[in-house]
Amino acid sequence: MPVPRSSLFPRVRWLFAGAIAVAALAALWRHDRRSLRWRPPAPPVVALDADRVGAMVDARRAAALRLSAATAARPHRIRASSSGALLGRLVAPACVLGPRPLCELLASSVTACADGDGATCHAVGRFLEDAPPYPEIARWFFGAGCERGDAAACARATQIRAGSADCDADRLACMVRARRRDDLAAFDHLCRGGMADACAMAGLAYLEEPIALRGYLTAACQAGGTSACAELARRLAPSCTGDCMAPDAAQAEVAAVIACDAGFADVCQLAAL
How many domains does the chain divide into? 1
Measured CA to CA, the distance from residue 256 to residue 253 in angstroms comes to 5
Q: Is residue 106 in some structural domain?
A: yes
Q: What residue numbers bound the domain in which 25 lies?
A: 5-38+50-162
Cis peptide before 93 (omega within 30 of 0): yes
Residue 124 domain-assigned (yes or no) = yes
- State the pTM of this model: 0.82
Summary count for the chain: helices (H), strands (E):
13, 0
Q: pLDDT tens digits for the chain (273 residues)?
A: 444 433 333 333 333 333 343 344 444 444 444 444 567 888 888 899 999 998 988 998 899 889 888 888 776 666 656 677 788 888 889 998 888 888 999 999 999 998 889 999 999 999 999 989 999 999 999 999 999 999 999 999 999 999 999 999 999 999 999 999 999 999 999 999 999 999 999 999 999 899 999 999 999 999 999 999 999 999 999 999 988 999 999 999 999 999 999 999 999 999 875
Asked whether residue 20 is assigned to any structural domain, the reply reads yes
Indicate the burial class of 228 (C-beta count within 10 angstroms; 0-12, 13-18, 19 or more): buried
Q: 211, 272, 220, 212: which is closest to 246 by C-alpha? A: 211
- Any domain includes 177: no
What is the distance between the alpha carbons of residues 118 and 114, in angstroms, rounded to a whole number? 9
For residue 59, being part of any structural domain is answered with yes
DSSP, res 219:
H
Q: What is the pLDDT of residue 70?
A: 85
- For residue 22, is it within any domain? yes
Please, are residues 95 and 103 in contact by the beta-carbon 8 Å criterion?
yes
264 contacts 273 by C-beta, under 8 angstroms? no
Rounded Cα distance, 90 and 229, in Å: 16
Closest by Cα among 25, 41, 36, 13 to 235: 25
Residue 177: which region, alpha, beta or left (left: phi > 0; alpha: psi -120 to 50)?
A: alpha
The Cα 150–Cα 117 span in angstroms is 8
Distance (Å, whole) CA 174 – CA 183: 10
186 domain residue, yes or no: no
Res 262: pLDDT: 93
The answer to the question of residue 128 being in a domain is: yes
